[in-house]
A and B are shown apart, each in its own frame.
Chain A
Amino acid sequence: MSLDKATVQKIAYLARIEVREDELEPLAKELSGILHWVEQLAEVDTDGVPPMTSVSAEMALPMRADVVTDGGYAELVLQNGPETTNGFFLVPKVVE
């Protein structure tokens, strides 16, 4: 699959990364190169092969009681926030 500028723009928006107009074309070429390369997987017949969804498939996941075990650190949680006020993170206005 070759990506065009519009597709790169769309993916970049999905990933919420601003890309300058003059970077779109070279980026489209770069990403297309990687996609072409990974498309070699198409030559492998994977019909009936289950997807590997867990590395620890052979290990039974441990169970625990569904109870609160930790918390109550609002101040610590907020201390790295670039902008905070009164126990909240501050973001640009989202509701008009």
Chain B
Amino acid sequence: MSDLTHLTIADAEKGLDRGDFTSVELTKAHLAAMAKHKDLNAYITETPDQALAMAEQSDKRRAGKQAGLLEGIPLAIKDLFCTEGVQTTAGSHILEGFKPPYESTVTANLWKQGAVMLGKVNLDEFAMGSSNMTSYYGAVKNPWKRSGDAKDLVPGGSSGGSAAAVSACIAMGATGTDTGGSIRQPAAFCGIVGIKPTYGRCSRFGIVAFASSLDQAGPMTRTVKDAAIMLKAMAGHDPKDSTSTPGPTPDFTKAVGQSIKGLRVGVPKEYKPDGLSSEIMAAWDKGLAWLKEAGAEVVEVSLPHTKYALATYYIVAPAEASSNLARYDGVRFGLRVPGNSLDEMYMKTRAEGFGREVRRRILIGTYVLSAGYYDAYYAKAQKLRTLIAGDFKQAFQKADVLLTPTAPTPAFAIGENLDDPITMYLNDVFTIPTSLAGLPGLSLPAGLSSDGLPLGLQLIGRPFDEEAVFKAAAVMEQAAMFKRWEAC
């Protein structure tokens, strides 16, 4: 392949090893591609000098036979991960100019394995959104367009910049974070692979917090194998996050290419709501057929509390967010708007610093946690969460993985779905239950809609069984023969 930016991470590693090209060359190719794709608005901050310095170091390490898992691979980092000395905005005005004095554990793990940082990519403000339209730094464009239609589409969200960057080949992979679908839905909209691992697989230290009982980091890549490589580098126990699992991190790449003979694939009957597009249904059926052909067994399962998952999430997540975002007070970092009293300074700073969606969620969260309403809303939602997690436990007695659509529609146009917040929330109807239960979920491109847009399918696994998910995903990827370079 002539264009270095089109390589997979796995192939780039081979090329670097053979000496076909250097990390500096690979990085320069990406920096040039980034300059060409500025219109996507995928990056908030580009770090070309740092990228080249890291690439040079990487080439030296390789020459000294000390190559890591991602040695010399240029990556984009969602601007929710704190990166030492490099502006980290969370897509918000309130953090503009914030330069963390420390590095998130996940990014530190990536650098330890030799990866190169191209820059920080755009996202919905504080990761709250499904379209990347709530970013203070402007909407991101999806590199894909409907056939014969020039209208700009959303890349999904909140990891929209990550998905657009990987899809357009202006990064070989990107970090994402997922609270209710923020890795999987944009991966589906942009025709790439994204996995939210089990809650606890990756450390949350240094990731700007949204809803701490749901937030998880994960990789976004163009192939299943690349996702496995990258997740292995990102994951692992971290004493700085007591919810990160002390268990060992498996070599996820070994699962890629394994036989799925006898694997039981569950189909949740509640995931077929009225009005689900026939195209999504068809893609789903095709996915099941591929798995069957490879020797898997398809079984119907029931997740009876599915219809309550969204409402549960929109109590739990805003409640946690209202508490987490209390720290943005104009005192220690970011924006400050002067006031005559401390209270007035807080109120003016937060009024100017937060966008509409973030304000909406903070207010909802504050209300459901306030005296007199806690039991009716928050405690009720926590009980529903128990029931939803219990549904999955039951289902996983009959099945080893579940297959569902990732999102109810393909990418929509920029500006659409903004009138009613609940319409926007429905984008995550298939991803939120998994998040509430803390399970791993992977989205992969399964084909195109009739108007030429990527359609994603989601594989869900048992807690800490990402390997079953990767195994099934690799089989589907091979059958789908998705043209992953189409948007480069």
Contact = CB atoms under 8 A, between A and B. Distances in A.
B333 interface: yes
Given A55-B200, A56-B245, A30 B360 contact: yes
A12 B363 contact: yes
Interface in B339-368: 339-348, 350-351, 354, 359-360, 362-364, 366-367
A42 B375 CA distance: 11
B351 A17 contact: yes
Interface size class of B (residues with CB under 8 A): 35 or more
B335 A15 contact: no
Contacts of B315: 38, 41
A40 B354 CA distance: 29
A51 B330 contact: no
Majority secondary structure, A binding face: loop
A33 B246 CA distance: 42
Chain B CB within 10 Å, residue with most, of A52, A61, A93? A52
A35 B315 CA distance: 9
Contacts of B242: 61-62
B299 interface: no
11 contacts: A37-B311, A38-B377, A49-B383, A49-B387, A50-B383, A51-B385, A52-B386, A62-B242, A73-B101, A81-B331, A92-B345
Interface of B: 97-101, 199-200, 213-214, 237, 239, 242-243, 245-246, 305, 308, 311-312, 314-315, 322, 326, 329-336, 338-348, 350-351, 354, 359-360, 362-364, 366-367, 370, 373, 377, 379-387, 389, 420-422, 438, 463
Interface of A: 1, 3, 7-8, 11-19, 27, 30-31, 33-35, 37-42, 44, 46, 49-56, 58-59, 61-62, 64, 73, 76-77, 79-83, 89, 91-94
Given A33-B421, A34-B360, 16 more contacts: A8-B363, A13-B347, A17-B362, A19-B351, A31-B360, A41-B384, A46-B384, A51-B379, A51-B386, A52-B389, A53-B382, A55-B214, A56-B245, A56-B438, A80-B99, A82-B331
